[in-house]
Every structure is written in C-alpha cells, then in structure tokens.
C-alpha cells in the first residue's frame, strides 16, 4: 500500500468479498450475498448443490515477522471503545475466507479457526488451507 493512500476499511472489505465471490463462482458454486450489512457473521453464501455454506470474509494488510495478522474481533464501535470485545463466533459461519495485502488467500473451516481474537497466516499451521492467490488489496 502506498504511504499516501488513505485507508478505506469498507472498501478493503468489499475487495475481499469480491475476491471470495469470484473464487467460489470459478469453482462452480452459486454465490449469494446478504442484502444489508446487519449480519456481521456471514458475508456470503456459497452452494455447490449440497446445501449452503456460510462464509465469513476478512482481509488484512498487516504483515509482521513474516506472517499476516488477521483480526477476528471488534473492539467497540466506530467512535469510541466501550471496553466490549466481540469475537467471531465459529458456530455462526462454516468457513473463513481470508485475503491479505499481496493477494494470498485462505479458506479455513470454522472448526479450525476457533474462537480467538486473531490468527497469524503464512506459516505452517494454516498452510493446508491456502488456496490460489487473487488480486492484491489496494
């Protein structure tokens, strides 16, 4: 990312959702999206004909010590932090689709994610869930 570029979290999330939708469609799944952003646990529904899969999409540009840092929780709202930390509940989605700054992507089953506040990707722990790369985030 260019240092002069303004960060746009909503736009970055939209890029991630588009990347996921294109990947699922290319693999032959029907892809559905919620009408509104009120459901924070499901960004897409993918269906290969054997039932819908609830997909949570997340993105990251945070790279340190050779790993991509992925945040799986929210802390407060947009204006102030109330001290409330909301973790992503793995019972509310089936798979986590991750897109990082250089375009690398992972599709991780919810059961492998757990209920923590973050992941570090790029090492051996989640290597088996890495899928072919897409477009870099911009």
Instruction: Tell me the pLDDT of the chain (138 aa) as tens digits.
Output: 344 455 666 788 899 999 999 999 999 999 999 887 666 779 999 999 999 999 999 999 999 999 999 988 765 555 555 555 667 788 889 999 999 999 999 999 999 997 678 899 999 999 999 999 999 998
Residue with tokens 């990707």: 121
Can you tell me the distance from the alpha carbon of 112 to that of 126, in angstroms, rounded to the nearest whole number?
9
Spell 8-21 as b/e; 16+ CB within 10 A means b.
eeeebbebbbebbb
| pLDDT at residue 37, rounded to an integer | 67
| pLDDT at residue 62, rounded to an integer | 94
Q: Tell me, yes or no, whether 87 lies in a domain.
A: yes
What's 108's domain CATH number?
3.40.1350.10
| pLDDT at residue 2, rounded to an integer | 41
Q: Tell me, yes or no, whether 1 lies in a domain.
A: no
Tell me how many domains the chain contains. 1
Q: Tell me, yes or no, whether 57 lies in a domain.
A: yes
| pLDDT at residue 73, rounded to an integer | 77
Q: Tell me, yes or no, whether 17 lies in a domain.
A: yes
| pLDDT at residue 3, rounded to an integer | 40
Burial class (CB in 10 A: 0-12, 13-18, 19+), 2: exposed
DSSP string, 6-49: PP-HHHHHHHHHHHHHHHHHHTT-EEE--SSTT-TT-SEEEESS
Q: Tell me, yes or no, whether 138 lies in a domain.
A: no
Q: Tell me, yes or no, whether 28 lies in a domain.
A: yes
Q: Tell me, yes or no, whether 119 lies in a domain.
A: yes
- Domain limits at 30? 9-131
Q: Tell me, yes or no, whether 23 lies in a domain.
A: yes
Instruction: Copy the structure tokens of residue 91.
Output: 């019972």
């Amino acid at each position: 990312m260019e240092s002069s570029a303004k960060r746009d979290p909503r736009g970055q999330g939209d890029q991630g959702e588009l990347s996921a939708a294109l990947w699922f469609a290319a693999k032959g799944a029907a892809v559905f999206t919620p009408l509104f952003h009120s459901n924070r646990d499901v960004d897409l529904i993918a269906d290969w004909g054997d039932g819908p899969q609830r997909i949570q999409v997340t993105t990251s540009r945070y790279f340190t010590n050779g790993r991509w840092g992925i945040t799986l929780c929210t802390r407060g709202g947009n204006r102030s932090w109330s001290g409330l930390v909301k973790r992503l509940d793995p019972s509310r989605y089936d798979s986590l689709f991750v897109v990082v700054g250089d375009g690398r992507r992972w599709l991780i089953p919810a059961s492998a994610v757990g209920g923590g506040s973050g992941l570090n990707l790029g090492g051996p722990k989640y290597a088996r869930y890495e899928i072919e790369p897409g477009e870099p985030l911009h």
